Amino acid sequence: MLIGKQSWQFANKPVIESWGSSGGPFEAEGKLAADFDVLHDDLWMGEESYEKAHRVLLEEAIKSALQKGNFNKEDMQFMLAGDLINQITPTSFAARTMEIPYFGLFGACSTSMEGLALASFIVNYQGAKKTVTGASSHNSAAEKQFRYPTEYGGQKPPTAQWTVTGAGAAVLTDNPDKQGKIVTTSATIGKVVDMGISDPFNMGGAMAPAAADTISAHFKDLNREPSYYDLVVTGDLGRIGQATTYELLQQSGLEITKEQFKDCGLLIYNDDQPVQSGGSGAGCSASVLYGHLLNQMKNGVYKRILVVATGALLSPLSFQQNETIPCIAHAVSIEMN
């Protein structure tokens, strides 16, 4: 049901039945290694190219999500997923393997929540009994497309972020038994915001206004106070973007505390890992949510969380043509029933 200007409330509370995640060697050294279902010690993952390895990541995340919920791929009506690579081939090729009717999504790093919002909407209105949604990214495949060759010795500024090699996927069902289950209750779809930042090595700074816009819109539409949530977690703002978003929210009068405002890009790695401003990529929010955060909810650490995934909608061409970076953010609220 549409509520307010740009939000949906899911009266039938779609259940997040199971979830799975996969990661690369760098994530295995990070803070959340224990929450990944599959970890690789090699960026190639036994494949011939980084793009193929990227596909493997998503396949593994979906397979572990299915396996943990005792589902077969034939049980799934739809798959909603996406990634950052041109024409989202890794995701589409994974959909070929999975043989599930498929919606390919692109919202850059906001794809994870774009997928979860749409999957929740479909399940809420009986459009499907079971759907799978997810997102993934691969550091080397993203570097190759957006920046320089992986072995090129260019110096990255401290504002740069490290693309996560990882994938996360979740199975949503219309299970009527919602007792003690994790459910999605509402979603806010963001609009594209461009505050004129054109530096592709400062994604956090570019995405912060979009994040603040969507978070403010969510609380306005649902007529809630930030204290409703135990945690408001952004996708991949990193150090700069997170601090900026926090200040923007404070200015707009939202009473949100530093303790309840976190960022997946800052949660995933250890402080001594050389990631400059933090993690990023579509796989960042997906692997942290469909691993660490939902595990924490299951263990009772959090009861209600708002996940806000942010995406920078640029291409290697657009920034070379001196275009600024338009950004977007989508939010989904997830609650323990």
Partner 1 sequence: MGDKKKQKMTPEQQQYQELEQKHELKRPVVKNCIKAFLVGGLICTIGQAITYFYIYFFNFTEQTAGNPTVATMIFLSMLLTGFGVYDHIGQFAGAGSAVPVTGFGNSVISAAIEHRTEGFVLGVGGNMFKLAGSVILFGVFAAFVVALVKTLLTMMGVL
User: What is the binding site for partner 1 (CB under 8 A)?
Assistant: 48-51, 144, 148-159, 194-197, 202, 205, 208-209, 239-240, 243-244, 247-248, 274, 277
Task: For the CB of residue 99, give the shortest distance to partner 1 in the complex, in Å.
Answer: 26
Task: For the CB of residue 82, give the shortest distance to partner 1 in the complex, in Å.
Answer: 22
Structure-block tokens of residue 286: 């997906």
* Residue 182, helix vs strand vs coil: strand
What is the rounded distance in angstroms from the CA atom of residue 288 to the CA atom of residue 136? 11
What is the rounded distance in angstroms from the CA atom of residue 135 to the CA atom of residue 105? 9
Closest CA to 276 of 159, 110, 108: 159
Task: For the CB of residue 256, give the shortest distance to partner 1 in the complex, in Å.
Answer: 16
Report H helices in the chain. 25-28, 50-68, 89-98, 111-124, 139-146, 203-221, 238-251, 264-267, 282-287, 294-298, 316-320
CB distance 306 to 329 below 8 Å: no
Structure-block tokens of residue 4: 């307010």
> Could you write out the DSSP letters of every residue in 229-271?
-SEEEESS-HHHHHHHHHHHHHHTT----STTEEEHHHHSS-T
Task: For the CB of residue 173, give the shortest distance to partner 1 in the complex, in Å.
Answer: 39
Of 195 and 336, CB closest to partner 1:
195
CB distance 276 to 160 below 8 Å: yes
Sign (positive or negative) of CA dihedral 144, 147, 153, 155: negative
